[in-house]
Amino acid sequence: MEYRTLGGTGTIVSSLCLGTMTFGTESDERVSHAQLDRFVEQGGTFIDTANVYSSGASEEIIGRWLAAHPELREHLVIATKGRFSRTGVRNELGLSRLHLTRALDASLRRLQVETIDLYQAHAWDPLTPIEEALQFFDDAVRAGKIHYVGVSNFLGWQLQKAALLTKHLGLAPIVTLQPQYNLLQRNIEFELVSVCENEGIGILPWSPLGGGWLTGKYTRDSTPTGATRLGENPERGMEGYAKRNAAERTWQVIDAVRKVAEGRGVSMAQVALAWLADRPAVTSVILGARTVEQLDDNLGAAGLHLSEEETALLTDASTPIVDDYPYGVPGVAQRNRAV
């Protein structure tokens, strides 16, 4: 396992993070605890969850595991999120001080910890002034309830505005961004990556394997079946599957990943994770596994670095297809300071 600083902080985390969205639904408590055990055995120190994962069960499962292993707490960095509703109650939603106060306290109870190391806004809230949310985070840091502030699923202008406001108002800075990012979804490179590099914000990619596509388990001419998320729950995403399946770029990327994997003698998942872990501003890649066996394969990416030729092959094959202003040729030219 390799280790990196958490964004612009001095806190050290593993370059692979254990995501726990499956805990309590696709992975029962026994399997979830086995994943936590294996992750730590392999040198993992960074665990990510959210208050809405399995309606709070994910945090509870982690909390019981932490309670059974109190000696590990000082070695781990625990991250969770607040923003979305668990109950459907009108004010149990958003980034308001009222909701976040309740959400944070509830997460502390479920996780059975006194302090959450990284507390993240799960998404932008158009109803709440961002100043209110940022002031809440700062107050929580000062109260010792959280150590660091992060955000997830923000757009470029939203992240830049929030980062500048923390400086202007003297509040706790935003240290991480958690976006969707993988070889099939690179649109954060248009603006968000540059914001993160300029502001010292670490990127924590979620869905690094593109919902399983980058593992090679889907084929061009077949419908997902069996022990896959789409195979077991086709109604959840078949429209998105059909759209991605019809895109030639999808198979161009998958073929490139397969070529590198076969040349290396490693799994396609490990190649996709290795490419992502070495992208600019990436602090830690969030793994999402349903079984210990899946996690073991993902952990095989720890310490794997691709050659310049392998990286170029994957990067070229996965270049987003955008021709229109401002993200086509003009955008590339500006990012490269060619104009």
**Which residues are catalytically annotated?**
53
Around 127, how many Cα atoms within 13 Å sit in the side-chain half-sphere? 10
Instruction: Say which amino acid occupies 84.
Output: F
Query: What is the phi-psi region of residue 289: left when phi exceeds 0, alpha when psi lies from -120 to 50, beta otherwise?
Result: beta
- What b/e sequence results for 225-257 when a residue is b if at least 16 CB atoms lie within 10 Å of its CB, and e otherwise? eeebebeeeeeeeeeebeebbeeeebbebbebb
**Total residues belonging to the chain:** 339
**Tokens read off for 309:** 């030729």
**Tokens read off for 47:** 């665990």
CA dihedral angle for residue 265, residue 269, residue 274, residue 279, rounded to 10 degrees:
140
* Torsion over CA: 116, 168, 6, 75 (sign): negative
205 and 182 Cβ atoms separated by less than 8 Å: yes
Q: Taking the mean position of all CA atoms in its chain, how far away is CA 61?
A: 19
**Tokens read off for 22:** 């499956």
194 and 200 Cβ atoms separated by less than 8 Å: no
DSSP 84: S
User: 339 has which bridge partners?
Assistant: none
